[in-house]
Every structure is written in structure tokens, then in C-alpha cells.
Amino acid sequence: MARNTILVVGNTTTPVDLEDLTAFAFDVADRLGLPARVAVGMAYDVTDYEGVVLCDTWLDSVPSAVLGVEAGEADMFSIGTQELYGFEPVKTCAHCLEDDDEAAPVYVGGMWAAPVCPSCVATAAGVALHGLSAVAA
């Protein structure tokens, strides 16, 4: 179900930490062009995800360390902050597949959906925003 989604791992100890990590997850969705979910706690099966992006270091929190080790053992796509910013922001709408400089991830259902252009966001707002992540996945 979570295939094609990136799990964003980092420190979520305080509400401010969680806010920071959620903001970082926007960049993950924006640069990898895939939906990004922030891991809160460690009750995740990393192999259900397309890959793992780590904010800062594995040592920031216990869940970071646990999920980091699991991703390492699963030999899956797993990058850190520095590698992430080596990717250019995606400028193709995941919904209509048109190039649009304003394409940006949308926060839907507790996660960032893949980048979509403003007109698709406007269209989707009138229908069910949940469809966006379904289309992107």
C-alpha cells in the first residue's frame, strides 16, 4: 500500500521537532517526486516503502537508529540530507504530467503527495484530495 512512498526518518521527539521534520519531508517529496511520509515512532516496516530519507543523522533519536539499521539491512534506497539536496526539485506535475515550475507537493492525509501543479490542486480541491496520492502512487 505504501509502495512508491518514501519514509522520512528523523527526530520527532517534540512538536517542534516534528514540525521541522514535516517541513523537511516537503523537500523529500519535491526532490524525489514521490509521496513522503514522516515516520513517527518506529512501528514501520521499511520494506513497505520505496526508500528511506534520513534527516540529519541516525543517532538523533531511537526510532531513527532502529529504522536506519532496518533500512541498511534491507539493502534499500536510503539517503541522507546531503544526498537529498543533490537532487533537483521535480518540476513535472505527478497528476497531469505537464512541466510546471510551480509544481509542489501537497499535504494530504498526513503525508506529502508527489508534486502537482496549481491547476491540478485547484481541480482536486473541488473533488477529493485523497485521489491525488492515489494517482501519484
Beta carbon nearer to Zn ion, 21 or 94? 94
Closest approach of Cβ 117 to Zn ion, in Å? 4
Stretch in the footprint of Zn ion (CB under 5 A) among 49-57, 61-69, 78-86, 95-103: 95-103
Beta carbon nearer to Zn ion, 7 or 114? 114
Residue position matching grid coordinates 473533488: 127
Q: What separation in angstroms does the CA of 18 have from each of 8, 14, 39, 83, 116?
A: 11, 6, 10, 21, 24
Beta carbon nearer to Zn ion, 56 or 100? 100
Beta strands in 1-137 (DSSP E): 6-9, 36-38, 51-54, 77-79, 107-108, 111-112
For residue 54, what is its C-alpha cell? 534520513
Are 23 and 15 spatial neighbours (Cβ–Cβ below 8 Å)?
A: no
Q: Which of 2, 96, 135, 137 forms a contact with Zn ion (CB under 5 A)?
A: 96
C-alpha 108/C-alpha 110 separation (Å) is: 6
For residue 86, what is its C-alpha cell? 543533490
Beta carbon nearer to Zn ion, 67 or 120? 120
| Pairing assessment for the beta strands 6-9 and 111-112 based on DSSP bridges | unpaired
Q: Which of 71, 95, 112, 136 forms a contact with Zn ion (CB under 5 A)?
A: 95
Q: Which of residues 101-120 bind Zn ion (CB under 5 A)?
A: 117, 120
Closest approach of Cβ 64 to Zn ion, in Å? 34
Q: Compose the 54-93 pattern: x for residues touching Zn ion by CB under 5 A, - for all others.
A: ---------------------------------------x
Please report, as ranges, the residues that interact with Zn ion according to CB under 5 A. 93, 95-96, 117, 120
